Structure 1
Amino acid sequence: MRTPRLDALPPSEGAWLEVDIGRQCLVHWQGEQRQGEWSVSTGLAGTGQREGSGRTPLGWHYVRAAIGDGLPPGSVFRGRRHTGETFSQSLAEAHPERDWILTRILWLCGLERGFNRGGAVDSQRRYIYLHGTPPDQPMGVPRSHGCIRMRDADLLEVFALAPPGTPVWLHE
């Protein structure tokens, strides 16, 4: 297991996020003080760095972009763009093939060259996000295609706490 060193964090006024894949939770930290915790769902295929693996990457990342500010909860995204749709059961039934990305996107970029940055292991090029998911999707169990899924209300809280530049540590 990779152990975080607070002195190795990029500058972000001491605020950072931890995604504990083993516990399926996200923790918000201010320095060494735990501020909040939320349930998540990570990759069904487990952890891994490779593009096309469907696995959740490990290591240090940062929030590269925060997308969707001001849009209503349930807003639907495709290709990081708002489609103009709001998630509903009838929309889900009309598009059963979609991997729903809802409400907000926190797009992650790896910080460790050759591990989660660059080449076939680049988290940003893999489009690894923290994003909302439909209410019928379970939390606390791995079910995603590699991203970190959250309940919309929880994601809205985290979105407000994690502007671009916020460090994020993903570990098992």
Structure 2
Amino acid sequence: MARAKNDSLTRIVMLLCFGTAFLSLVVHWRITTSTTPQPNLAKTSKTALRAHSQGHPNGITLLSAFAPSKQTTLAASQNRQLVVDLSDRRVYVYSGETVIASYPIGIGKKGWETPTGSFQVLHKQRDPIWQHPITGKIFSSGTDSPLGDRWIGFWTDGRNQIGFHGTPDDEVIGSAISHGCLRMRNPDVRLLYKQVNLGTPVEVRQ
């Protein structure tokens, strides 16, 4: 009788061990499935941006950390909007339907045309540091910086950027001279910097 009880107890223990092992396998499978890497949405976005850039393999490379923040989805205050007229070579600042300011700009040269379309301000920076997209030379901030002392970015492929910036060479304003960016006189870009926020719409037209 005791032996029969012992056999029954042994079977019960074995069943419990088997059940525990089975449950462990199920939990491990669910965890593995839930942590499987998902498609790289950032990479997909970069590809879409490159397709929209109209032949911009490089653009501007800023040597500062850049990642579009959650603030970029916020509506800009005072209902501001920037309209860039490439043929006119000016940027117009709208408040509602009223133009409150306009500034002359230099635009992208042949082969590096400024992309057209609807964008928004993604990044603002004082005293930017720039790396030349072809030579790789690094230009520090200062009075002689090719980017001037303000940067207002509205396009990126995740590494390179295009935007408004100053220049120490006022004579190039109004010409097709840049690598896709919109060059402005330093006093003008300082004013524009104060007039826009992250998320301000930017419309670039031919």
* Band the TM-score falls in, shorter-chain normalisation: 0.5 to 0.7
Are the counterparts in 1 of residues 76 and 198 from structure 2 also a CA contact under 8 Å? no
Identical residues among aligned pairs (%): 25
Cα deviation, 1:81-129, whole Å, max 9, x if unaligned, reads: 983x4234xxx8xxxxxxx1121110113xxxxxxxxxxxx56654101
1:150 is displaced (CA, Å) by 0.3
Other-structure match for 2:154: 108
1:141 is displaced (CA, Å) by 1.6
1:149 maps to which of 183, 189, 194: 183
Other-structure match for 1:62: 120
Please give the secondary structure, in 2, of the residue aligned with 1:57: coil
5+ residue gaps, structure 2, are 1-73, 132-137
Which amino acid is the alignment partner of residue 198 of structure 2?
Answer: P
Other-structure match for 1:171: 205
5+ residue gaps, structure 1, are 1-9, 46-52, 69-74, 93-99, 110-121
Are the counterparts in 2 of residues 15 and 31 from structure 1 also a CA contact under 8 Å? yes
Q: What is the TM-score normalised by the length of structure 1?
A: 0.65
- For residues 82 and 168 of structure 2, the distance between their equivalents in structure 1, rounded to whole angstroms, comes to 23
The structure showing larger relative contact order (alpha-carbon pairs under 8 Å, at least 6 residues apart) is 1
- For residues 194 and 85 of structure 2, the distance between their equivalents in structure 1, rounded to whole angstroms, comes to 20
Cα deviation, 1:48-68, whole Å, max 9, x if unaligned, reads: xxxxx5220001110101101
- For residues 106 and 38 of structure 1, the distance between their equivalents in structure 2, rounded to whole angstroms, comes to 14
2:129 maps to which of 52, 77, 91: 77
- For residues 158 and 104 of structure 2, the distance between their equivalents in structure 1, rounded to whole angstroms, comes to 23
1:137 is displaced (CA, Å) by 3.8
1:136 is displaced (CA, Å) by 4.4
Please give the secondary structure, in 1, of the residue aligned with 2:151: strand
Are the counterparts in 2 of residues 18 and 168 from structure 1 also a CA contact under 8 Å? yes
Give 4+ residue runs of structure 1 displaced > 6 Å after superposition: none
Other-structure match for 2:37: none
Other-structure match for 1:42: 107
Other-structure match for 2:86: 21
Are the counterparts in 2 of residues 87 and 102 from structure 1 also a CA contact under 8 Å? yes
Which amino acid is the alignment partner of residue 165 of structure 1?
Answer: G
| Structure 2 residue 192 is the aligned partner of structure 1 residue 158 | yes
Which amino acid is the alignment partner of residue 86 of structure 1?
Answer: G
* RMSD of equivalent CA atoms: 2.4
Other-structure match for 1:86: 142
Larger radius of gyration: 2
Which amino acid is the alignment partner of residue 76 of structure 2?
Answer: S
Instruction: Flag the structure with higher strand content.
Output: 1
Which amino acid is the alignment partner of residue 102 of structure 1?
Answer: G
